Amino acid sequence: MSTITYRSAGVDYDPLDAFKRYCQKSAGTTVGNLARLGFGEPAGIRGETAYLLETDDAYLAHVEEGLGTKVLVADAMYRLTGQSFYRNIAIDNIATIANDLCACGALPVSMAMFAAVGDTAYLADARRSEDLAAGFAEGCEACGAVWGGGETQVLKGIVSPETMVLGGSAFGQIRPKHLRITGDVRDGDAIVCLASSGVQTNGLTLCRAVAERLPEGYLTKLSDGRTYGEALLDASIIYVRFVAECQSRNIPLHYAVHVTGHGWRKFMRLEAPFVYRISRIRPPQPVFDCIAKAAGLDHREAYGTFNMGVGFAVYVAPEHAEAAVACAGECGYEAWLAGRVCREGDRKAVIIEPLGLEFGAETLAIR
Amino acid sequence: MSTITYRSAGVDYDPLDAFKRYCQKSAGTTVGNLARLGFGEPAGIRGETAYLLETDDAYLAHVEEGLGTKVLVADAMYRLTGQSFYRNIAIDNIATIANDLCACGALPVSMAMFAAVGDTAYLADARRSEDLAAGFAEGCEACGAVWGGGETQVLKGIVSPETMVLGGSAFGQIRPKHLRITGDVRDGDAIVCLASSGVQTNGLTLCRAVAERLPEGYLTKLSDGRTYGEALLDASIIYVRFVAECQSRNIPLHYAVHVTGHGWRKFMRLEAPFVYRISRIRPPQPVFDCIAKAAGLDHREAYGTFNMGVGFAVYVAPEHAEAAVACAGECGYEAWLAGRVCREGDRKAVIIEPLGLEFGAETLAIR
């Protein structure tokens, strides 16, 4: 059986990366407007998860995100089973925005949703519409933000009539300024991992390709008795409350990683050369086993693509590791001390010791 | 020849409105989060063009918008003529966001773009990608904002491989607070209209249906010798500079209208009962003649759907009318004193006197 990779599943990222480079270059030409408006741009902020504006007493944060193709799984499951997972999908949409925001220490203040359908008939299903609306509100509550507005459009001829595009934006703040997570990582820092709920919002194109290979598609039973589709659609975890609580308990977060595209390679997102030694891993959810087997992915491919049970991680001083784990637990997150950040000369790598895996610096080029 | 209406062009807004109502109801439940974050929500802000957050010394504004289907026209013209209008499309995308923002008196600070394609091959065209990036930056410059970031996604199976979804968001501010445009309209206020560049970003689904009726489609010649497609793709005008300059010249804007969907009915967007008497109109661009003839629209339908040459309007005290017109002119906008706001008991209407047209309150239900 052949392996399914992202390229074979129809996503060639080269033109996308070129477009992003054009955009970054053009965007850079507009920075001169900030001073007149009374704001500054922190050095090195381009390419970070959220755009920050500096004021005298705070950073303001602005993020735009999209949900990706996960809604197609909910559409398929709704057709197959009559069960609506759109509430979860709406929470996923909030999670993609809010988790990027809090990874720099910003807490979301207002969220705005973007939805586009190819045919208004898609929204004529009251259950779908109500579940989406309820899920957006639930997601906003989970991150302590207000749902401020949004836009819904009919894009006939652009969006497939059977589904929708979801995305949105957040405005947030870091107040006071020292709460900003800057990447001030030191040799010996502890890596604290927070569990994901499953695939969350990452790798869904590949997950959908897998469904086509499984004997009963989305209705294939996993080792825990749930269906593949149901497991894929577990709502993403929103990590804002954890970051907020660490801030109020004075647990300094040296860095935070929202584990999404590029899987565990994201642990070395920081430019500075460090080796991230993961010594304790927990078994990923059964859905990952199913994906890896059906797609023919070895550990290296699986951990380099999916979150494999870890949705968020923070790097803290070793003396704060226990407090960070306890803080997460008291906020309802599953968390554990997973490893150490080590300075080993110029070496940059993520090493998953229990699996004998190493990802070198050359495997992650996202800046 | 039958008339083309929005419903016959495939857009039934009822399910969309129902979805928006679910969303507004759910969004309202999240307002309690604001106080803890140190913000207030101004009364009556829901349903306005931008969401506002109140602080001690400013309002912060957050808008999410989408471009709609105009990109399909650029795609068709690119195929037909090899001419790229994507720079204009990108400016249009900024305009939809920024004009909504400045209609409440907010000046954009940071803009973030959202782009989704069905196939990365669409962005493999370097000319298209470069033009889009250049246009985004040009649009940000035109509104004095910084291009802070954004998100580009590949949504195979959701977005048609031949085109893209564009949208985005802005964070802005009103500082000091008295510059907020609140709808403090008075009997006798002057209506100052600012010219549009053409259809801008409104009514494009109908414009595309019209192209199918025209003898040479998008290449049909208008009365001014330009093609229909070329005229449709004139970049939208961004009105931010006008609002900013009125603010710095101390010309109080009692209300501002971004003339988009619902055409000139938008003049009565304000809840309070007023009669908006338009006494001076200017001939709309030739593209509107072409649309009205081909779609079989009478004046009532045309002015109730399209901007008909007016993209933005402000209501000011009569003694400030001349200064507002002059201010617009000095900023490079075409503007004129177009009429008066009148208190006539409980009557609410837009009256276009030179055309003998009247739109009653019942023709606009957007709240």
Q: Tell me: the pLDDT tens digits for B32-42? A: 999 999 999 99
Query: What ipTM is given for this predicted complex?
Result: 0.94
Spatial contact of B283 and B334, defined as CB atoms under 8 Å apart: no
**Digit-coded pLDDT (tens) for B347-362:** 999 999 999 999 999 9
What's residue B365's pLDDT? Answer: 75
Cβ-Cβ contacts under 8 Å, B149 against chain A:
27, 46, 50-51, 62-64
Give me the amino acid identity at A67. L
Mean pLDDT, residues B293-311 taken together:
97
Chain B environment of A39 (Cβ under 8 Å)? 109, 146
| Residue ranges in chain A assigned as alpha helix (H) | 14-28, 33-37, 70-81, 86-102, 126-142, 204-213, 228-232, 240-248, 286-295, 299-303, 321-330
What does each C-alpha distance from A16 to A20, A27, A256, B115, B145 come to in angstroms? 6, 16, 26, 10, 25
* Digit-coded pLDDT (tens) for B53-86: 999 999 999 999 999 999 999 999 999 999 999 9
Give the SS3 label for residue A221. Answer: strand
Instruction: Find out whether B294 and B214 touch, Cβ atoms under 8 Å.
Output: yes
pLDDT tens for B124-138 read 999 999 999 999 999
Candidate from B22, B63, B123 with C-beta closest to A15:
B123
Give the Cβ contact number of residue B254 at 10 Å: 19
Strand partners, A190: A316, A340
- CA proximity to B142, closest of B108, B179, B104: B108
Looking at residues A346-359, what average pLDDT do you find?
A: 98
Residue A113: closest CA among B19, B293, B91: B19
DSSP designation for A61: E
The two three-digit tokens of residue A286, written as one number: 């059964």
* Cα three-residue angle B242-B246-B139, rounded to 5 degrees: 25
Q: What percent of chain A has pLDDT over 90?
A: 90
pLDDT band at residue B49 using 50, 70 and 90 as cut-offs: confident
Closest Cβ opposite residue B129 in set A22, A53, A153:
A22
CA distance B271 to chain A (A): 19
Q: What pLDDT is stored for residue A19 in this prediction?
A: 94
Q: What's the average model confidence in pLDDT over A97-103? A: 96
- Both tokens of residue A149? 């507005």
The residues that bridge with A171 in the sheet, in sequence order, are: A62, A110
Q: What is the mean pLDDT of residues A265-294?
A: 96
| Whole-number pLDDT of residue A8 | 61
How far is Cα A13 from Cα B203, in angstroms, rounded to an integer? 34
pLDDT (average), residues A4-28: 80
Q: Which residues of A touch B164 (CB under 8 A)?
A: 158
Separation between Cα atoms, residue A215 and residue A211, nearest integer Å: 8
pLDDT (average), residues A11-21: 83
CB distance B153–A15 less than 8 Å?
no
**pLDDT reported for residue B131:** 98
Check whether domain B190-363 has CATH 3.40.50.720, yes or no? no
pLDDT for res B44: 84
> How near does any CA of chain B get to the CA of A94, in Å?
13
Give the closest of A39, A109, A129 to B37, CB-based.
A109
As annotated, the residues of chain B forming the CATH 3.30.1330.10 domain(s) are: 31-179
* Mean pLDDT across A203-214: 94
User: What pLDDT, on the 0 to 100 scale, is given for residue B5?
Assistant: 66
Which residue type, as a one-letter code, is found at position A366?
Answer: I
Nearest CA to B257 out of B30, B77, B105 is that of B105
Q: Is the Cβ–Cβ distance between A323 and A250 less than 8 Å?
A: no
Name the least confident of A9-13, B97-101, B199-203: A9-13
B153/chain A closest Cα distance in angstroms? 7
- Say yes or no for a CB contact (<8 Å) between A151 and B64: yes
Token duo for residue A313: 């991680």
Residue A275 near residue A342 (C-beta atoms within 8 A): yes
CA-CA distance, B73 to B235, in Å (whole number)? 12
pLDDT surpassing 80 at residue A9: no
Q: How many CB atoms lie within 10 A of CB B130?
A: 19
For the segment B241-252, the average pLDDT, to the nearest whole number, is 98
Reduced 3-state DSSP string for chain B: CCCCCCCCCCCCCHHHHHHHHHHHHHHHCCCCHHHHHCCECCCCCCCCCCEEEECCCCEEEEEEEECCCHHHHHHHHHHHHCCCCHHHHHHHHHHHHHHHHHCCCCEEEEEEEEEEECCHHHHHCHHHHHHHHHHHHHHHHHCCCEEEEEEEEECCCCECCCCEEEEEEEEEEECCHHHCCCCCCCCCCEEEEEECCCCCCCCHHHHHHHHHHCCCHHHCECCCCCEHHHHHCCCCCCCHHHHHHHHHCCCCCCEEEECECEHHHHHHCCCCCCEEEECCCCCCCHHHHHHHHHHCCCHHHHHCCCCCCEEEEEEECHHHHHHHHHHHHHCCCCEEEEEEEECCCCCCEEEEHHHCEEEEHHHCCCC
Exposure of B194 in the CB half-sphere (CA atoms within 13 A): 29
State whether B26 and A156 contact (CB < 8 Å).
no
Q: What is the overall mean pLDDT for chain A? A: 95
The pLDDT tens digits of the residues spanning A116-136 come to: 999 999 999 999 999 999 999
Rg (CA), chain B: 20
Q: Is the pLDDT of residue A188 over 90?
A: yes
CA dihedral over A39, A42, A44, A50, signed as positive or negative: negative
Please provide the CATH number assigned to the domain covering A31-179: 3.30.1330.10
Of A33, A107, A151, the CB nearest to B66: A151
Count of Cβ atoms closer than 10 Å to residue B342 Cβ: 15
* Amino acid at position A77, single letter: M
Which residue from B13, B51, B123 is facing A16, i.e. has the nearest CB?
A: B123
Spatial contact of A41 and A50, defined as CB atoms under 8 Å apart: no
Which of helix, strand or coil describes residue A144?
Answer: coil
pLDDT score recorded for residue B9 = 61
Where along chain B do the CATH 3.90.650.10 domains lie? 190-363
Residue A261 or residue B242, greater confidence? B242
Contacts of A150 in chain B (CB under 8 A): 23, 64
Local confidence band at A11 (pLDDT 50, 70, 90 cut-offs): low
Look up residue A43 and give its DSSP letter. Answer: T
C-alpha span between B73 and A63 (Å, rounded): 29
The string of pLDDT tens digits covering residues A218-276 is 999 999 999 999 999 999 999 999 999 999 999 999 999 999 989 999 999 999 999 99
Q: What is the mean pLDDT of residues B303-331?
A: 98
Look at residue A337 and tell me whether its pLDDT is greater than 70. Answer: yes
Q: What is the pLDDT of residue A10?
A: 56
pLDDT for res B364: 87
**Residue found under tokens 């059986």:** A1
Tokens of A8: 């074979």
Q: What pLDDT, in 10s, does the model give residues A220-232?
A: 999 999 999 999 9
pLDDT of the residue at B10: 57
User: What is the C-alpha separation between B262 and B240, in angstroms, rounded?
Assistant: 22
Q: Indicate if the pLDDT at residue A325 is higher than 70.
A: yes
Mark yes or no for CB contact B51/A107 under 8 Å.
no
Chain A with chain B: Cβ pairs closer than 8 A: 305
How many angstroms away from the CA of A71 is the closest CA of chain B? 9
Q: What's the pLDDT score for residue B253?
A: 98
Asked whether the beta carbons of B116 and A26 are under 8 A apart, the reply is no
> Tell me, what's the pLDDT at B174?
97
Contact assessment for residue B276 and residue B341, using Cβ atoms and an 8 Å cutoff: yes
Cβ-count burial B277-301 (b if 16+ within 10 Å, e if not)? bbeebeebbbbbebbbebbebeebb
pLDDT class of A49 with cuts at 50, 70, 90: confident
**Straight-line distance from the first to the last Cα atom of chain A, in angstroms, rounded to the nearest whole number:** 34
CB contact under 8 A, A33 and B145: yes
User: Exposed, middle or buried by CB within 10 Å (0-12, 13-18, 19+), for A332?
Assistant: exposed
Q: Strand B164-174 and strand B255-258: pairing?
A: unpaired
Set of chain B residues whose Cβ sits within 8 Å of the Cβ of A15: 120-124, 129
Give the pLDDT confidence of A23-43 residue by residue, as tens digits. Answer: 999 999 999 999 999 999 998
For A159, which of B33, B39, B165 is closest by C-beta distance?
B165
At A185 the pLDDT is 97
Q: Could you report the per-residue pLDDT of B1-33, keeping only the tens digit for each?
A: 467 666 666 567 788 889 999 999 999 999 999
